[in-house]
Amino acid sequence: MSAHNIDHSLDSFGDSTASATRVTPGNALRPEDIAIAQEKPSEQVAEYALRLGDDALILAQRLSHWISRGPEIEEDIALGNIALDQLGHARSFLSYAAKAWDKTEDDLAYWREEEDFRSLHIVEQPNGDFGVTIVRQLIISIYQHLLYTALLDSGDATIAAISAKAVKEVDYHRDHAIAWTLRLGIGTEESARRMRHALDILWPYVGEMFEDEELHAALGDVAVAPSSLRAAWEEEFTAVLHDAELAVPTVPFAMARGRRGEHSEHLGFILAEMQVLARKHPGATW
């Protein structure tokens, strides 16, 4: 790497010497493999991959803010590693989606405007205190674990392959969130109060996760209808809250349309921070 160049890619350490390989669930684990593979997704498949990638990318950006700010050094490391896992998922899904439009993962991450992102509102919400972050992680990690497990049978080999890697990592994310939910829920009155507050402020964004789109029906066995995950998610989530002596909130769901490019006020600030270096030094590489 030359000292006079600046890197703003999602991953600076890709193997540029890799040869083209057939994408299969066994080897399509690196974004570099996906980028050089000959298979090109349809625009509908790319739109689906974009949704999965955007969720992971924005959540990674949020979680990375905890580095050096965690309540203990182990959580600096844990949340940082979870953020890196999510970033890896984002890179894989965005690399695949980008091929449909002859773009790169960096093009999709750094050069789209706010209305072009398809992330869920819940991943855009501020970290808040540690309790808010843990509740968000509990909500998302249970959802992603169910989603990626179902996508192991996707009719698209690349989406199935990415999910096969992601589900193993999300399994840890879920265990981490459950452990902290139990610790805080049955800890002190103050920790329980903060968890109840976190549930109340995040619950309005849960409903959006399970909304089906025409895209899901059009893709058939390639995609998973979000509504099909709802019963299993509610069962697992409710069981965790019960063990943590917490209750499911009664606040109503919000009208969230992140999948349509209508976002909360928070996404613009996230993108401004995430994209500033790439836009200030366009084309810069190591």
Per-residue pLDDT of the chain (286 residues; tens, 9 = 90+): 333 333 334 443 333 333 333 444 444 457 777 766 767 899 999 999 999 999 999 999 999 998 888 788 888 899 999 999 999 999 999 999 999 999 999 999 999 999 999 999 999 999 999 999 999 999 999 999 999 999 999 999 999 999 999 999 999 999 999 999 999 999 999 999 999 999 999 999 999 999 999 999 999 999 999 999 999 999 999 999 999 999 999 988 887 888 898 888 999 999 999 999 989 998 877 6
**273, two tokens:** 């921070």
CA–CA dist 88, 30 (Å, integer): 8
Phi, psi of 262 (to 5 degrees): -100, 110
Neighbours of 171 (CB within 10 A): 15
Which domains, ranges and CATH numbers included, belong to the chain? 31-280 (1.20.1260.10)
CA–CA dist 125, 77 (Å, integer): 21
Residue 142 near residue 174 (C-beta atoms within 8 A) = yes
Instruction: Identify any residues that bridge with 257 across adjacent strands, giving them in sequence order.
Output: 262
CA–CA dist 142, 232 (Å, integer): 9
